[in-house]
Amino acid sequence: MYDVAIIGAGITGMSIARELSKYDLKVCVLEKEVDIAMGTTKANSAIVHAGFDAKPGTLKAKLNAKANSMFDQLSKDLDFHFRRNGSLVLCFDEKDMDHLRDLMEQGIQNGVPDLVILDKAAVLAMEPNLSEDVVAALYAPTGGIVCPYEMAIGMAENAYENGVEFFFENTVLDIQKLNNGYALITDKNTFKSKLVVNAAGVYSDKMNNFVSSSKLSIIPRRGEYCVFDKEVGSYVDKTIFQLPTKLGKGVLVTPTVDGNLLIGPNAVDIDDKDDLTTTRIGLDEILRKASLSIKKMPSHAIIASFTGLRARTEADDFIIGEVPDAKGFINAAGIESPGLTCAPFIGAMVKEFIVEMLHPLEKSNFNPLRKGIHHFLEMTNEERKALIKQDPAYGKIVCRCETVSEGEILSAIHRPLGATTLDGIKRRTRAGSGRCQAGFCMTRVLDILSRELEIKRTEVTKFGGESKLLVGKNKQDV
Amino acid sequence: MQEYDLVVIGGGPAGLAAAVAAKEQGIENILILEREAKLGGILNQCIHNGFGLHVFKEELTGPEYAYRFINMIEDKFIRYKTETMVIDLSKDKLITAVNKTDGIFTIQAKAVILAMGCRERPRGALNIPGARCSGIFTAGTAQKFVNIEGMMPGKSIVILGSGDIGLIMARRMTLEGAHVKAVVELMPYSAGLTRNIVQCLDDYDIPLKLNHTVTNIVGKDRLEGVYIAPVDENRNPIPNEEEYIPCDTLLLSVGLLPENELSKKATVKLSPLTGGAEVDEGRETNVDGIFACGNVLHVHDLVDHVTEESYIAGNAAARYLKGLQKQSKKIEVKAKDGARYVVPKFISPENIETDLELSFRVRDIYKDHYVSVYFDETRVAHQKKKILTPGEMQTVKVTAEMLNAHTHCNEISIQVEKE
Ligand SMILES: Cc1cc2nc3c(=O)[nH]c(=O)nc-3n(C[C@H](O)[C@H](O)[C@H](O)COP(=O)(O)OP(=O)(O)OC[C@H]3O[C@@H](n4cnc5c(N)ncnc54)[C@H](O)[C@@H]3O)c2cc1C
Ligand SMILES: Cc1cc2nc3c(=O)[nH]c(=O)nc-3n(C[C@H](O)[C@H](O)[C@H](O)COP(=O)(O)OP(=O)(O)OC[C@H]3O[C@@H](n4cnc5c(N)ncnc54)[C@H](O)[C@@H]3O)c2cc1C
């Protein structure tokens, strides 16, 4: 019997898991995919929002600014990339200035510090590559950027080190009420737990509906993106939003913490919760809209595109708390934007509920620190020299675009909750995420995975399931 | 810190030939740096025939061609380090490299030859929408799996792009037991060599769909199929004419890009037309003492041309090291009208003792057209060609006499003319 079972290994589930790992609790995480952060957490804008966006009074508004201020310490403790680059909301029409001022007002109400409206000259001085059509902008210095999957993986590793158990490739198919808790039935096993935390992202409605008569319904809302080569990664330094107008919400242009440029997303409601395809119309739309913000769209430098799904509910707000007609079942559902930003706070909130219910003791040996992979690219030559001396595998470069060494790949595989797939390696080391998109390193990484995990090369996958890369030996079917 | 007269970055056919040439000119202190375990570059995975007809007057496979040069390197006692990646190059020719045994180390070179080859354009470069499933490979990656590792990436294949690698892989996959359903090409013509279309597609009844492109990719975990559609004059897919082809693999052969990250660090000026450095007749870049040759300079279709170009670079680097290179007026060479680009971009007549070949590519298919060379307004050469295609690199000669006769010329240009 577990004390707490968390469904979903996205940023929400991982924040909660890490918070709970501070206590003397038996906690497990059930995740349907092979790895952490394979849902919405892997595909979003990666912005740590300042907090002016949400309507005052909503949970989103209440949590955002507070959660934002947690990132400096958290990124240090868990060793993930975070940069407070600041954000600008661009206004293109004098007539919309009132909206811009309203937005600033809303931000102040939400507790966002240091907001200021800049005139055209000041905006262009700050960001020379922005469009000349800008008339003013709202500047939020506390806005930031983060690597969302690195953050989730960091939290997961830390939770694991502090005793949380993980079960991947376990899809929760049903949840049944027991006298003293719940039985979670997955395709592999049955897990019994006193409390359940529902952090299942776009599937959090389904989990809720297993146990409650107040039904939730999530309509996945697609958002598409294009990623650009690092060559144009510093085209802008701040995160550039567009002031929402009658014509729609607009799209953003931002650097990523890894040094690429990112544009997107659009917003299209769809029915399939697993549909992560990109569309011609969608990609054209974001390219067209993003072009309004900047002088020249560097279309030649696009290296990849992707889709993320928002967990949109009718309430249009986070749903966090115990389900009234299901004691001990706690929702962290409908966590759409700014869910990434708010995750650390949601983790703390859910922990409070659970502490109140179970009164656990705090662990004396909780270790808040996690050390990430040594990234060759980010080291000085002195550091590299020392590391290679210790472990020569760091002297062998496997991914040429991102300069990732074999040592990093091995560390990604062998660390706690290590990578088992090509995408797992990519998210932990960036091998394959550069300008050639794994053209060079795919064969090498595949060989290393096969060797280290002692599986056949034909069993290595891109992201689990049937996403195999090789089908057999040459001439097998001739 | 180590010191060398000449460091060659990249041990493919370009780097090997350049090193051999420099050594033959008396440069003793040479080092080749190669990131792979073996010298030979991309040739090691090109196990098909068709190499060496010009240089060796016989038909060799890629590895055989490479082997001849590797032997020369060994015979001439030219030093090399494999499994060594160059990670930095400064304009003062300070090289930083890394490997397992030496760790990080630096080398001061007096001259550098860039011979890093090229890489393939990925799916993202075309921004093809659809699923992000497995089963999508660049043709070169698939070639490596099949030819080096003996492993098949799929069984039913669609190939996008009819460059040489795509064509060669259509045949290879067929021979290894896969079903190649179509080769899809955006342009009205193939970017590959005619001989490859005949020997790799026609001989195996593989359809070549010109004026078509892939418009969507379908699959959850593994690729299940692709949509292809014909395109209009502006290369835009025609809606409602999409056709679905079930397949488990999509190979991309949609162009090669010279790999110039290091060159950029060394402030080498690159041409937007070739993606490679702007060089003079000795293949010297704008940075004093840094030369470039092979696919890092511009993408070649025949390795023989790579070898010839690399001899030129190796010889010029030797002259540079011996102080024989004259600093003189440079004449700019331009590609005009039907010509897309030309290499070299500059010529210093005083450094030219014999004839000089200009390499260029045309923009489109031209039948019964003339290739002309102009010195300013004066046409000095005019050669009729039965057919010119973008897929085949062309050359045209500029002789010492021509240069002597036009010493005050400001510009040389190549044009494709109807008459
Ligand atoms: C387009 C877009 C842009 C966004 N931009 C931002 C931004 O810039 N800043 C920001 O703060 N927020 C942003 N967000 C919001 C943020 O990405 C999400 O709020 C956050 O990632 C949600 O995390 P999660 O853990 O709740 O969900 P997920 O990451 O989706 O995790 C849910 C997990 O549950 C698993 N699961 C589902 N069903 C089952 C089952 N039956 N059994 C077992 N496991 C199951 C899934 O596999 C998944 O791993 C954006 C969202 C989108 C879509
Ligand atoms: C699939 C394919 C089929 C072909 N078919 C034919 C054919 O039939 N007939 C024909 O004549 N020609 C053919 N060619 C063309 C010919 O093989 C190439 O033009 C030639 O190999 C290019 O030589 P290169 O030395 O410039 O580049 P490469 O062979 O690519 O060599 C470059 C070398 O540099 C190394 N390198 C790069 N960066 C670094 C670094 N930072 N540090 C250390 N080392 C580095 C690389 O590892 C590589 O070994 C084919 C090419 C390909 C790709």
Return the number of other C-beta atoms located less than 10 Å from residue A335's C-beta.
Answer: 31
Contacts of A461 in chain B (CB under 8 A): 134, 221
CA–CA separation, B242 vs B215, rounded Å? 8
Helix-, strand-, coil-residue percentages of chain B, each rounded to 5: 25, 35, 40
**Can you give the pLDDT at residue B98?**
98
Q: Three-state DSSP class for A39? A: coil
Report the alpha-carbon distance of residue A327 to residue B366 in Å, rounded.
78
Tokens of A174: 């049903």
> Which chain A residue has the Cα nearest residue B223?
A467
Nearest partner of A276 among B404, B23, B73, B130, judged by Cα: B130
Classified as helix, coil or strand, B189 is coil
Question: From CA A134, how far away is CA A130, in angstroms rounded?
Answer: 8
- Residue B340 and residue B360 in contact, taking contact as beta carbons nearer than 8 Å: yes
Query: Dihedral of CA B396/B400/B404/B409: which sign?
Result: positive
Burial bucket for residue B350 (CB in 10 Å: 0-12, 13-18, 19+):
middle
Q: In this complex, is the C-beta atom of A468 within 8 Å of any C-beta atom belonging to chain B?
A: yes
Catalytic residue among A49, A300, A375, A414: A49
Backbone angles phi, psi at B7, to 5 degrees: -115, 130
First-to-last alpha carbon distance for chain A, in angstroms, is 53
Q: Which residues contact B190 (CB under 8 A, 6 or more apart)?
A: B162, B163, B167, B197, B208, B210, B391
Of B104, B137, B155, the CB nearest to A388: B104
Place of tokens 């440069």: B27
For every residue of A315-365, DSSP letters joined together read T-S-EEEEETTEEEEEEEE---SSHHHHHHHHHHHHHHHHHHHH-PPBPSS
Q: How far is B382 from A51, CA to CA, in rounded Å?
A: 69
Q: How far apart (Å, rounded) are the C-alpha atoms in residues A182 and A193? A: 5
Q: For residue A370, what pLDDT is reported?
A: 98
Tokens encoding A312: 């949109």
Select from A38, A41, A149, A209 the residue to mutate for testing ligand 1; criterion: most ligand atoms less than 8 Å from CB: A41
Nearest alpha carbon, ligand 2 atom 2? B165
pTM of the full structure: 0.95
Q: What is the DSSP letter of A418?
A: -
A306 touches chain B (CB under 8 A): yes
Helix axis angle for A442-453 and A406-414, nearest 10°, is 40
Q: How far is CA A115 from CA A89, A105, A386, B153, in A?
A: 11, 9, 44, 53
Helix residue ranges per DSSP H, A188-338: 204-211, 280-291
CB A428 within 8 A of CB A38: no
CA B84 – CA B103 distance, rounded (Å): 9
Say what the pLDDT of residue A476 is: 84
DSSP summary character for residue A140: E
**pLDDT per position as a tens digit, A415-428:** 999 999 999 999 99
Whole-angstrom CA distances from A304 to A287, A465, B126, B128, B411 are 13, 22, 9, 9, 41
Residue ranges of chain B whose pLDDT lies below 70: none
Q: What is the pLDDT of residue A478?
A: 64
> pLDDT tens, A76-124?
999 999 999 999 999 999 999 999 999 999 999 999 999 999 999 999 9
What mean pLDDT do residues A30-38 have?
Answer: 98
**Type of residue at A197:** V
Cα–Cα distances in angstroms (integers) from residue B226 to residues A308, B128, B155, B231, in the given order: 22, 11, 15, 16
Q: Considering only CA atoms, which of A136, A326, A302 is closest in space to residue A215?
A: A326
Task: Pick A474's closest partner by Cβ from B119, B152, B248.
Answer: B152
Q: Select from B229, B257, B268, B279 the least CA-distant residue to A436.
A: B257
Position B53: which residue type? L
User: In terms of Cα–Cα distance, which of B397, B391, B407, B45 is closest to B192?
Assistant: B391
CB pair distance less than 8 Å for A471 and B153 = yes
Identify the residue whose tokens are 């990732």: A404
Per-residue pLDDT band for A247 (boundaries 50, 70, 90) equals low
Q: B253 CB less than 6 Å from ligand 2?
A: no
Longest dimension (CA), chain B: 67
pLDDT digits (tens, 9 = 90+) for A218-227: 999 999 999 9
Cα-to-chain-centroid distance, residue A45: 8
Of all residues in chain A, the percent with pLDDT exceeding 70 is: 99
Nearest CA, atom 31, ligand 1: A10
Separation in Å, CA B307 to CA A180, A239, A257, A478, B45: 78, 48, 42, 37, 18
> What DSSP character marks residue A439?
T
Give the pair of three-digit tokens for residue A92.
């293109």
Give the per-residue SS3 of B224-283.
EEEEEEEECCCCCECCCCCEEEECCEEEECCCEEECCHHHHHCCCCECCCCCCECCCCCC
Measured CA to CA, the distance from residue B155 to residue B180 in angstroms comes to 8
Judge whether A49 counts as a catalytic residue.
yes
CB within 8 Å: B134 and A306: no
* Domains, chain B, with CATH or none: 1-120+256-325 (3.50.50.60), 122-254 (3.50.50.60), 328-419 (no CATH)
Which residues from chain A sit within 8 angstroms of residue B152, using beta carbons? 470-474, 476
Sign of the torsion angle spanned by Cα atoms B298, B301, B306, B312 = negative
Contact between residue A88 and residue A370 where contact means Cβ atoms under 8 Å apart? no
Q: Mutation target for A interface from B47, B85, B98, B106: give the one with most A CBs within 10 A.
A: B98
Task: Considering only CA atoms, give the Rg of chain A.
Answer: 23
B110 CA distance to ligand 2 centroid (A)?
25
The atom number, within ligand 1, closest to the CA of A13 reads 25
- The answer to whether A109 faces chain B, any CB pair under 8 Å, is no
Predicted complex: ipTM over 0.85: yes
Q: What is the DSSP letter of A25?
A: -
Distance CA A264, CA A460 (A): 32
Burial of A299 per CB tally in 10 Å (0-12, 13-18, 19+): exposed
- Provide the pLDDT for residue A462: 98
Q: What are the structural domains of chain A?
A: 2-41+149-218+315-358 (3.50.50.60), 87-141+219-311 (3.30.9.10), 376-459 (1.10.10)
| Helix A148-161 × helix A422-429 angle, to 10° | 100
Tell me whether the omega of the peptide bond preceding residue A128 falls within 30 degrees of 0, making it cis.
Answer: no
Show the tokens assigned to A223. Answer: 């958002």
Region of residue B103 (phi > 0: left; psi between -120 and 50: alpha; otherwise: beta): left
The answer for residues whose C-beta is within 8 angstroms of residue B238's C-beta and 6 or more apart is B229, B230, B231, B232
Alpha-carbon distances of B270 from A422, B273, B332, rounded to whole Å: 33, 9, 15
Q: Which two tokens stand for residue A117?
A: 């409206």
Residue A342 alpha carbon, nearest atom of ligand 1: 11
